[in-house]
Amino acid sequence: MTTNRVAGTLMLCILLLGGPALALAQSGDMKAMPGMDMGREIVIPKGALYTKADVEFMQGMIAHHSQAIVMSRLAESHGANPQVQKLSNKIDQSQVAEIGLMQGWLRRNNQFAPDTSSWHHMTMSGMLTAEQLKALDAAKAVDFDRAYLQMMIQHHAGALKMVDDLFATPLAGQEIDVSVFANDVVTVQTTEIGIMRKLLTELPAK
Residue 206 located in a structural domain:
no
* Region for residue 47 given its phi and psi (left: phi exceeds 0; alpha: psi -120 to 50; beta: otherwise): left
Q: Into how many domains does the chain fold? A: 1
Q: How far apart are CA 8 and CA 89, in angstroms?
A: 15
CATH of the domain at 112: 1.20.1260.10
Residue 40 located in a structural domain:
yes
The answer to whether 144 and 58 are in contact (CB under 8 A) is: no
Among 206, 169, 62, residue whose Cα is nearest residue 121: 62
> What is the residue range of 48's domain?
3-201
* Tens-digit pLDDT profile for residues 128-137: 999 999 999 9
Residue 118 located in a structural domain:
yes
pLDDT at 62: 96
pLDDT at 131: 97
Secondary structure class of 54 (helix, strand, coil): helix
Could you tell me what percent of the chain has a pLDDT over 70? Answer: 81
What's this model's pTM, rounded to 2 decimal places?
0.81
Instruction: Give the HSE-up count for residue 142: Cα atoms under 13 Å, Cβ half-sphere.
Output: 7
* Tens-digit pLDDT profile for residues 45-70: 999 999 999 999 999 999 999 999 99
pLDDT at 40: 78
Exposed e or buried b per residue across 141-167, where buried means at least 16 C-beta atoms within 10 angstroms of its C-beta: ebbbbbbbbebbbbbbebbbbbbebbe
Residue 178 located in a structural domain:
yes
For the ranges 7-16, 25-34, 115-124, the maximum mean pLDDT occurs at 115-124
Give the helix/strand (H/E) hosting 101. Answer: helix 82-108
Q: What is the mean pLDDT of residues 24-44?
A: 52
Residue 43 located in a structural domain:
yes
* Tens-digit pLDDT profile for residues 76-120: 999 999 999 999 999 999 999 999 999 999 999 999 999 999 998
Residue 32 located in a structural domain:
yes
Residue 77 located in a structural domain:
yes
* Region for residue 171 given its phi and psi (left: phi exceeds 0; alpha: psi -120 to 50; beta: otherwise): left
Longest dimension (CA), the chain: 58
The phi, psi pair for 187, rounded to 5°, reads -60, -50
